[in-house]
Each structure stands twice: as structure tokens, then as C-alpha cells.
Structure 1
Amino acid sequence: MNIEQLIHDVVQIQDKHRLMKQKTGGYFNIFTITNIATNEVAICRILYELLNPKGSHYQGGVYLALFVEHVLNMNIPVSELQQAAVYREYVIANNRRVDLVITTPHYVIPIEVKIFAGDQENQCADYVKIAQHANVYYLTRFGDAPSKVSSQEEKCITTISFAQHIVHWLLQCVTYSQTMKLASICEILRQLLGAIRQFTEQVEDEQEMDIQQVLTASATTMKSAYRIEQGVKKAKINLLHRLFKELEQRIQCEKLNNDYDYAQKQYRKLDTYYDVKNSTYPGISYLYKKDIQSGVDIWFRIELDGRLYAGFVVAVNGRDGKQVLSETEIKGYLPHIEQACIDNWWAYWELLPDANEAQIPNFKYPNEEDFYFELFEETTFQTFIEQIMERVYQLFPEGRSE
């Protein structure tokens, strides 16, 4: 079987499952439509409501008990769980807020949720201080570890993932006998499960099995599949090169040639972007304000972390680190932004090209319906660049040529 035939067979399988989902309403998923599943604030509210024994599901502590067993892998006595309380945005010292906290008479269990946001300095290390008879649980899409800046190399931090742990827990919730009698709750849980599988790149089981059967039919098909895999990787990297070169050509300022630039070390950040578990954060930076304080500069920066971001970072002696400016100071230096958006050295950031998230591609973890794949059409790519630059010039008018 040649490569063209192999691709044809896989496309047919995808088309079959796509048609099946269309006919059964499988694409109508409220969590996907509203981007709730990838919004950290929104997903924490949903998790909180499910875990809360006093939640509007009126199922008591059932979902919490399943969570403790299948996600936290803890053996907490039933008598303890019967006295459990769940908190969202739990305030601790220095006005830090823990995304979720589960408490019982003898346990305090902090849970930090990270989907796209970065870590803050000492964040997980501070959470360790409030934990009792438990670790801090760090929940990400794929079980990534917190940065050293956040953890300070504390050992009492356990990584958990949406891809494995939350999916498994939701399956337990959906198949729980009482849930199956409640159509509305059951359907909501199924939709949440489907949305999480999408943003964690999990192909539906039946479709995946059909594709695997085609790929593993013979040594020849596997060789073809391997060649396709290598070609896809190169195509993805080439798209990143095109993206940043287009941006650099259109921003008519001299960029900062530093360790944070996408072209440093012969484009290593781009060429290894898909090789490492954590993003290499390729980006491009321009000086916006110099020496606003001793050794402190503000840069305009565009950066790729799964999705494309633009905004302003505050560098201290040319390096990233903890934010040194207050929200009031940021507003003074950046009067044209509505409000500060502090995230480590970022003073403000937003997704590109605009607020229409349906048109914001995920370069790292696209699902089948992601706008990312449209960028391989030349006209769509050029339109995408124009949309990006329209917003970039609004944020950073210095970058527009006269």
C-alpha cells in the first residue's frame, strides 16, 4: 500500500465517524462551543460544583469520593469524607488563592489547575504550607510538573492530568448507577468528558481502533505511516518558521536579539518545539520602554505557548522573573490597555489574532476541528497574518512602518 492509498483509507475512516457524529448530534457540545473546557476559571467552577457535596447535582459526596479514589489515589475514611467541604479560590497568606481545596477534619488538600496560564513564583511551594496529611495536586492537561520557580523543588507535589485522571474520574461518574438514572446530569458529564478528550488530543476509541487497524495491517503500511509521521513533523515546524518570519518582516522595528528570541541558537526553540513536553516558548520581542526603573525595561512581545499571545513583559536586567510592577504602575506605563494581566513577567497579554477564539489556532494540541489546520491553506495563512498584524499595530503602533 502506498502513502496516498494509506491517507485515503484514513480519511475515509474519519469521514465515516464525522458523518456519524453529525447524525447523532455528537458535535453539539456546550463546553466546546463556549470554550469552557479550556477556560481555567470556568473549569474550576465546574469541578467545584461536581466535587461539592452540597452541589446542585444533589448527589451528596458521591462524585467527591470517586475523585479522592480515582484522581487523588487517597484512602480517606468514609467518616472523614462525610464531613468534607470543598472550596474554590481558597485564600491563603499573601492573598494567594488556591483553585480548589478539599478539607476534612484531618485533611487539607490543595489542588492547582493549570491549562494555559503560567506558574507564579513560589506558588506551589506556598500551597504545600497549608496542606495537611496530603500533597499539593497540580492538575494540567498532560500531567506536566510545575516550574522550579513555582515549586522551589518541594517534594510534596503530585502531578495529575485531565488526559488521564479527570477522564477516568468522569467515566466513573457517568457510569455510576444513580447518575445513569438522571438524564440531564448524565448528558452534561458526557459532554464535559467529550470536551476534555478533545483538548487533550484523545481520538474517540472506535475511530482510533479503526485507524490503528489500517496502519498495522502490514509492515508496508507501517513504513508508510512512519514516513507520513516524519513529514507531518517537518510541515508543522516549517509553519512555525513561516509564522515568525512573516511577523518579523512586518514589524518595522529592530527586534531584541536575546535568549528569548525564536531565531536564537539556529532556531532551536522552533525546531524542538514538538520534541519536548513543556513548551520552548518561541517568541519575538521589541523594546517598548527602557530603564523605567533601575535595570527595568518593558518589551512588547509575541510568544507561542500552544496558542499565540501578544502583550508586554517587564524584564529585569534583560531577564524574565517575578513581576516587579504593581497594577497601578503598569497602567501608568501602558495607558492604552484596559487592565493589567499579571502572569510572572507578563504585565499584559491577550490571545491573537482577536477575541474570536474559534479563529485562534492551537499550534501544540489541535483537535480535528481546530482552525490550526486551515493555516496550511495559503490564502487562509495570509489572512491570519493580516489579522494578527492589525491587532499588533493597535497594541504596538511603533511597529507600523511609516
Structure 2
Amino acid sequence: MQEIKNLIKNVSTEIQLINTSKRLYGKQLAPNFSIFDYIATNETNLNYILADLLNPKGSHQQDDLFLKNFIKICLPKLQCQEWSGFLDNLANIGIEREEIAYANKSNRKMDIYLTDGGKYGICIENKPYARDQKDQLNDYYQELEKRKHSHKHLVYLSQNLPSDCSVKSEDLEQWQINNEFSHIGYNDLVDWLDACKADCQNASVLEFINQFIKFIQKQFMGLSDMSEQNAIINAMLESDESIVSAIKIASQVPILQRNLIEKLNKQLNEKINQNPNYQLYQNKPVSLSKEKRVVLI
């Protein structure tokens, strides 16, 4: 029990130190400032960012740094003999956004399309928020096939798996067997961007990468403050005893949640009993009246 108390105390101390640092050095660190609070982060704009980074001739001026690391980190299955012609020619790969699927006459738009202009074709379908539409992935696959690419690959960028209405499960399985499909999440993009930072030679681009990573972690991974998370993890990994204590604490989280809910319920009841203008209804719909306000739990 003492080990558990020590771990909780250490974590609390680390968090207090972080919060103190933020207060003391807020002007220098500005931890809550993000360029992504001022620009659109819808699917279209995210496609623009990703396409420009992947483009060897993009405004970042880092040549094929981002594309090379994207293949290495996010699409390792393409590092094979069949794709050697593509990998050896990264500097000349063309990148298009919202490429019309004209070959199969579906007129859909491929979010990001990469090609060497001949044998190789890659379609990246980015689904940060919405689900894929009926036959969408199947149409993109058919588009790559009808463009006569002897080597094609469909990339599904989403925190979710493709829906059955977008592609049949047996077709998806066959694509994977043929090395024609990859599912990646936004957490994979963080690994990709981290890998690019080491060789990025421009300070402005490097700062943008850092901001993009923070946005992805907050928007898609639920990590709003990595400094706190790292402090907690480091405290848990400090010793064998702290690891055991962390596991014991984690096992009690469901009980803690129930106790907190019961405590909240009790507090709400006490407040409501003190005010006749409030009523408490549990887990059932109610009709609102002008006379009484309603609290639902």
C-alpha cells in the first residue's frame, strides 16, 4: 500500500511542477498556442497539407524527405522488389489532390493520388471525420486498375476500419493478400512526422511539423498535454514497485468511476432537495415544463 501512495505522490508532484513551469514560463512556452486553431482543419485542408508534404516538389523544399519516410513508416509493405522502380524514382513522383476518377466513370475524387506516370499508382483516401460511402473504396481500386497500373496500392487513412458498404470483406482480404491495400491511422502519421524531423533543414517547416503533431495528438488521439502524459509514464516506469503499483491503480479505475458517479448523484440530490424548482429524473425521457427545470443523469 505504501508503494501505491508513493507513486500517487510522485505523479502529483510531477504534475504540479509542470503546471508551475507553465505559469512561470507561459510567455516563452505558450503551450496552448497552435496555428491549427486559426486555420481550417476539415478533410479538404488536411488533404492539402498531406499532399504538399508528400510532394517532392512541395513548398517545404525538403525534396523527397516526407515521401520517403511515409513509405518507410506508414507503408513498409511497399519496400519490396515489386515497388523498387517507384522507390528509386521518388524525386519525380507526381502528387495530385482531388484527382477525378475518370477511368471507371464514377467521377469520384481521389483525395491524394501518387504516380510515376506509368506502372505505379497509389490512392490515399483520407477519412478524418466521416465514414466512407457506398462502394467508395471499391471504385477507387477499380480506377487504379483501369488506369493500367501494373502495381497499385490503396491507402485508407482513418481511425476506423473500412465499412462493408464501401468494399466487401472478401475483396478487402484479397487486396491485402496481394499487397494492394493498407489501413493506417493518424497515430501512424505522428510516427512519420517524428521521423521527418531529424533531417528537416528548415526551421519554419520544423515548427509546422511540431504543430501538426500536437494537433493530431489532440484531435485524433485524445492527448492534449504530452508533458503530463510523459511525466506520468516516467513515474510509473521508475521502478519495479512503481510498475506494480500502477497496474493495481489501473485495476481500480472502474470502481473509482462508480464511486464518483454515486458521489455526483448524492450531491445533485442534495442540491435539488434544497430548491423546489428542480427535479431529478434518472435514465428516462421527460417533458420540460416552464415551471420546473430538469436535471438528467
After superposition, residues 46-125 of structure 1 pair within 5 angstroms as 46-73=49-76, 74-75=78-79, 76-77=84-85, 78-92=87-101, 93-104=105-116, 105-125=118-138
Kept in 2, the 8 Å contact 1:13–1:210? The answer is no
Q: Say yes or no: does 1:138 pair with 2:139.
A: no
> What is the CA–CA distance in structure 1 between the aligned matches of 2:157 and 2:242, rounded to whole Å?
37
* Native 8 Å contact 1:6 1:224 kept in 2: no
Taking the TM superposition and a 5 Å limit, the aligned residue runs for 1:1-400 are 1=1, 9-21=10-22, 23=25, 24-31=29-36, 33-34=37-38, 36=40, 39-73=42-76, 74-75=78-79, 76-77=84-85, 78-92=87-101, 93-104=105-116, 105-131=118-144, 132=149, 133-141=151-159, 144-153=160-169, 154-155=171-172, 156=175, 157-163=181-187, 165-176=188-199, 179=200, 181-199=201-219, 200-202=221-223, 204=226, 206-213=230-237, 217=242, 219-220=244-245, 222-232=247-257, 245=283, 248-249=285-286
Report the CA distance shift for 1:122/1:182 in structure 2 as closer, same or farther (over 3 A): same
Output the CA distance in 2 between the equivalents of 1:109 and 1:251: 54
Structure 1 residues 122, 218: closer, same or farther in 2, change over 3 A? closer
RMSD in angstroms over aligned alpha carbons?
3.5
Change in CA separation of 1:34 and 1:243 when aligned onto 2, cut-off 3 Å:
farther
Query: Alpha-carbon deviations, 1:171-209, whole Å to 9, x = none?
Result: 121111xx2x31111111111112212231356363243
- 204-213 vs 60-69, greater mean Cα deviation: 204-213
Instruction: For 2:195 and 2:69, locate their aligned partners in 1 and report how far apart those are by CA, in whole Å.
Output: 7
Higher relative contact order (CA 8 A, sep 6+): 2
Following superposition, the deviation at residue 43 of structure 1 comes to 1.4
| Larger relative helix fraction | 2
**Structure 1 residue 127: Cα displacement:** 1.1
Q: Secondary structure of the equivalent of 1:120?
A: coil
Deviations 1:316-372 (A, max 9, x none): xxxxxxxxxxxxxxxxxxxxxxxxxxxxxxxxxxxxxxxxxxxxxxxxxxxxxxxxx
**Contact 1:214 / 1:221 at 8 angstroms: preserved in 2?**
no
Secondary structure of 2:96's counterpart equals: strand
Q: Percent of counterpart pairs with the same letter?
A: 26
Q: Which amino acid aligns with 1:82?
A: A
TM-score (norm 2): 0.68
AA partner of residue 110 (structure 1): C
- 1:391 is matched with none
Secondary structure class of the residue paired with 2:157: strand
Larger Rg: 2
Unaligned stretches of 5+ residues in structure 2: 176-180, 265-279, 290-294
- Ranges in structure 1 where 5+ consecutive residues have no aligned partner: 253-381, 386-402
Compared with structure 1, are the counterparts of its residues 245 and 115 closer, same or farther at alpha carbon in structure 2 (3 Å cutoff)? farther
1:101–1:208 distance in 2 versus 1, CA, 3 Å:
farther
CA distances 1:28-72 after superposition (whole Å, capped 9, x unpaired) = 2212x24755x3222111101111122111222221122122212
